[in-house]
Amino acid sequence: MLIVLSPAKSLNYENAPTTDIHTQPEFIARSAELIKHLRELSPAKIASLMHISDPLAALNAARYAAWSRKFTTKNAKQAVLAFDGDVYGGLDAATLNARQLDYLQSHVRILSGLYGALRPLDLMQPYRLEMGTRFANPAGKDLYAFWGDEVTLALNRTLESHKSKTLVNLASEEYFKVVHPKALSAKVITPVFQDWKGGKYKIISFYAKRARGLMARYAAAHAVKTPEKLKDFDSDGYAYVPDASTENLWMFQRRIAD
């Protein structure tokens, strides 16, 4: 069983990592190709392309300029500890023990516009490049064209060593589009998280993102090896709802008193 997550826009390189264990990204050469083309963009072009502020565009232009094919603990940090968005608040990897981090390393992949797919303990240099960015490149009009089947094939290689050939999709729609289900050697299960609001259950973005991280944390804490065990997920009051679920879409709901 393999879990995929989206990355986060927010990064934390200030806090020291809680483990010395680290690995190298698989697609450094491919990332370097993208960096080469990103360096050709002015800060103004970056701001327009990514719909970000001028200061943020300047920051990322500087990141592209500083990016190196050599990843060390001085210029990079383990991905799961560097990402700092809602999903990673739920995962809270900095508080996991060595056994739980080892589980993440074996059972979780983080999809990335720049890095393709990262293991949680892969060193990652800071960047911003969302998968949905329409960044024209030699392979096509966007990053989906750039990555082609490479990410899917990498997931297949990892799944070869897993007894349960299942991919648990905890990524956003934008990022999961880089995975090609027809070329994937696994069944795909997508958990959905809903909260009660306004008289009905609905997806609330912040809570749903956090719940994805919570589920990944639950899997690590319980050393989950088969997706059926994820139906027991109960963090923060969520519960699996069989009547609202299908074979590939699993519904988790919670109702918090107003």
Cα gap 249→192, rounded to integer Å: 7
Burial of 256 (0-12, 13-18, 19+ CB in 10 A): exposed
pLDDT of residue 253: 98
Cα gap 255→12, rounded to integer Å: 32
Please check whether residue 195 is in contact with residue 256, taking contact to mean a CB–CB distance below 8 angstroms: yes
pLDDT of residue 8: 97
Cα gap 53→61, rounded to integer Å: 12
pLDDT of residue 256: 78
Per-residue model confidence as pLDDT tens for the chain (258 residues): 999 999 999 999 999 999 999 999 999 999 999 999 999 999 999 999 999 999 999 999 999 999 999 999 999 999 999 999 999 999 999 999 999 999 999 999 999 999 999 999 999 999 999 999 999 999 999 999 999 999 999 999 999 999 999 999 999 999 999 999 999 999 999 999 999 998 999 999 999 999 999 999 999 999 999 999 999 999 999 999 999 999 999 999 999 755
pLDDT of residue 257: 59
Residue type for position 8 = A
Please check whether residue 121 is in contact with residue 114, taking contact to mean a CB–CB distance below 8 angstroms: no
Cα gap 208→63, rounded to integer Å: 30
pLDDT of residue 258: 53
